[in-house]
Amino acid sequence: MANSNADAEEKKEMDIRSFSSSQHNQTPYIHKVGVPPKQGIFKEFKTTVKETFFADDPLRPFKDQTRSRKVVLGLQAIFPILDWGRSYNLRKFRGDLISGLTIASLCIPQDIGYSKLANLAPQYGLYSSFVPPLVYAFMGSSRDIAIGPVAVVSLLLGTLLRNEIDPSKHPDEYLRLAFTATFFAGITQATLGILRLGFLIDFLSHAAVVGFMGGAAITIALQQLKGFLGIKKFTKKTDIISVMKSVFHSVEHEWNWQTILIGATFLTFLLFAKYIGKKNKKLFWVPAIAPLISVILSTFFVYITHADRRGVAIVGPIEKGINPPSVDKIYFSGDYLIKGIRTGIVAGVIALTEAVAIGRTFASMKDYQLDGNKEMVALGTMNIVGSMTSCYVATGSFSRSAVNYMAGCQTAFSNIVMSVVVFLTLEFITPLFKFTPNAILAAIIISAVLGLIDYEAAILIWKIDKFDFVACIGAFFGVVFASVEIGLLIAVTISFAKILLQVTRPRTATLGRIPRTNVYRNTQQYPEATKVPGVLIVRVDSAIYFSNSNYIKERILRWLMDEEEQRKAASDPKIQFLIVEMSPVTDIDTSGIHALEELHRSLKKRNVQLVLSNPGRVVIDKLHASKFPDQIGEDKIFLTVADAVLTCSLKLPEEV
């Protein structure tokens, strides 16, 4: 072992000597770094704005088109149904009809349950699966999203609204505030799409969303214990400690064994149906129709046995008929306006995040492009219209969208089919739900939200990025042990903290030469990379801004001090050149240039020369504007690290 190490060291030294001698024996041709021509301020501003807001070049289809064609393309951009509707045929209709009927059978019992999460009467959940899907079918660009109320948004909306108004004491004011929040949720979504600000929702990291969704799923499931166990007096808090206290305090007096029997039996049935669907993808329809079968059977059982007289809580009468207008119920002034706006913005952003994530997932599976900004406008418009027709916040449902996809949907027409079925339900069938036990709705919601707990994603996040896992677990525990709002706040805070940390503390690395090449790489990643005598090479892996410029300067000086100590201990030549590899530096501001000037002065005092390698177009342009090359010398800026090392090596004393 000792001999092999000695051989490796000797080979390394020979490599360094051969490299050094080869540098001195050749006359190099050094490529100069190109300085771009000056851009006008208007052109530069125009380019920046275009890349920020119009990176997808949405006006490309309009180029070189006649005026009439531009009008048609404009209408198709607003209403995609005018585009895909031209090629619609019987085969596509058959797929959409089957998928529409399947998701309708799933959505009807779910909607009744989700409306309870939002502290609203059951019919409002059905209303929200009638009008919004119709609007989305005309304006949405996803072929697979199934629109309607979802568990997380329903819980979030119900929690935020209940903090403002008690729904049991002031039901009319609560309902009005729900419509107001829905209206401003739609305004928020549409505004983000029209102003092309969709990239803002990406600031909520995937890890934080995974944790938030998992925590919300646990919270929703715990909330269903009221209906599942037949408890009448239940805490209004959502944290796990308060809920479990409420559950165990009522164990002796309020638990109803008939209710528990109904809930446990059908929850087992629903979970078994889900298991069958996962085992055999062709049987996707089994878990899709299982909730409706459960509702029918449990309702029939309660009706014939009169179980409601023995303490089994039932849904009760559901108002018959389609959505009544609610424009006059929206608060446009008064004390509740600000509360509605605040709640609407939060609910709208969360609904948007979920819908866009779902849309992108299925679009990638079917290999088609999804326009995020169009989606936002479509979702916003449907919620604005929905708020005026007695609906609360609707968005894309992952469970229903998955069923829609597996059922073979071809276009957004499946949402129209679902909407028609809900319409028929509201007109003719709602009286039949009167004897539906609350326990079955609790079982349906519990079985639905369990899919939101993505433990496999959490494990993967732990393996990939520990800081991401902190965001995930922080959001999870915030929701479970505090509240939905606290969990959301933690998720957003940790996501922004990660961004700030990455911006203010960017990575730097020392580089060495890969043996028998002119390639320079990170010495920690490539331990075999050799250091150049008398030269230290440092790479900066970030743009240099006011937020990190001082850190980068100090970090480079620390690299220099550490390297000098190591080389002194090994009796290696003193460092005379410090090369800063700037390929990853995408931009620099005045603070960054000032930091480079300070670095240059500090190095000068140590008799070390500053050398730059491969600054990009924007960086070199700004460096020349500040006359920084005049300070270090034009001959100290090189196209590659190899050119810089070659030139520096030639200038080193012969003994080095």
For the stretch 541-587, pLDDT in tens is 999 999 999 999 999 999 999 999 999 998 888 999 999 999 999 99
If you write DSSP's letter for every residue of 496-532 in order, what string do you get?
Answer: HHHHHHHHHS--EEEEEEPTTSS-EEETTT-TTPBPP
pLDDT of residue 455 exceeding 80, the answer is yes
Residues 6+ apart with CB under 8 A from 140: 80, 147, 374, 375, 378, 379, 412, 415
pLDDT of residue 1 exceeding 50, the answer is no
The whole-number average pLDDT for the span 379-402 is 95
Helix, strand, coil % in the chain, rounded to nearest 5: 65, 5, 25
User: What's the CA gap between 210 and 40, in Å, rounded?
Assistant: 45
If you write DSSP's letter for every residue of 552-601 in order, what string do you get?
Answer: HHHHHHHHHHHHHHHHHHTTPPPP-EEEEE-TT---B-HHHHHHHHHHHH
Residue 613 phi, psi (nearest 5): -125, 125
Residue with tokens 């087992």: 268
pLDDT of residue 656: 47
The whole-number average pLDDT for the span 34-45 is 72
Using a CB cutoff of 8 Å and minimum separation of 24, what contacts does 452-461 make?
452/151, 452/152, 452/213, 452/214, 452/216, 452/217, 452/398, 453/213, 453/214, 453/217, 453/218, 454/210, 454/213, 454/214, 455/214, 457/210, 458/210, 458/211, 458/214, 461/207, 461/210
pLDDT of residue 233 exceeding 90, the answer is no
Strand order in the sheet with 520-522: 520-522, 508-513, 535-540, 577-581, 609-613, 637-638
The whole-number average pLDDT for the span 306-331 is 94
pLDDT of residue 22: 47
pLDDT of residue 491: 85
Q: How far is CA 478 from CA 160, 164, 212, 218, 469, in A?
A: 15, 21, 8, 12, 14
User: What's the CA gap between 71 and 61, in Å, rounded?
Assistant: 12
Cα dihedral sign for 308, 311, 315, 318? positive
385 vs 451, residue with greater confidence: 385
The pair of structure tokens assigned to 259 is: 């209710």
Angle at 368 between CA 366 and CA 372, to 5 degrees: 120
pLDDT of residue 5 exceeding 60, the answer is no
User: Which of the 8 DSSP states describes residue 437?
Assistant: B
Residues 6+ apart with CB under 8 A from 274: 287, 290, 447
pLDDT band at 298 (very low <50, low <70, confident <90, very high): very high
The pLDDT mean for the chain works out to 90
pLDDT of residue 655: 42
pLDDT of residue 114: 96
pLDDT of residue 391: 98
pLDDT of residue 152: 93
Least-confidence region, from 9-13, 135-139, 611-615, 652-656:
9-13
pLDDT digits over 325-369, tens only?
999 999 999 889 999 999 999 999 999 988 988 888 888 888 888
pLDDT band at 28 (very low <50, low <70, confident <90, very high): low
pLDDT of residue 29: 62
**Which regions of 406-471 does DSSP assign to beta strands (E)?**
none
- Pairing outcome for strands 535-540 and 520-522: unpaired
* CATH number given to 506-650: 3.30.750.24
Q: Do the Cβ atoms of 554 and 595 come closer than 8 Å?
A: no
Using a CB cutoff of 8 Å and minimum separation of 24, what contacts does 552-561 make?
552/506, 552/508, 552/592, 552/595, 553/595, 553/596, 553/598, 553/599, 553/602, 555/508, 556/508, 556/580, 556/599, 557/599, 557/602, 559/508, 559/510, 560/536, 560/603, 560/606, 560/608
Going by C-alpha positions, the residue among 154, 656, 85 that lies closest to residue 411 is 85
Look up the pTM and report it: 0.84
Angle at 420 between CA 416 and CA 423, to 5 degrees: 135
The whole-number average pLDDT for the span 300-321 is 93
pLDDT digits over 618-647, tens only?
999 999 999 999 999 989 999 999 999 999
CA atoms within 13 A on the CB side of 286: 15
- Where in the chain are the domains? 88-497, 506-650
Residue 641 phi, psi (nearest 5): -65, -40
pLDDT digits over 161-179, tens only?
999 999 999 999 999 999 9
Amino acid letter for position 514: I
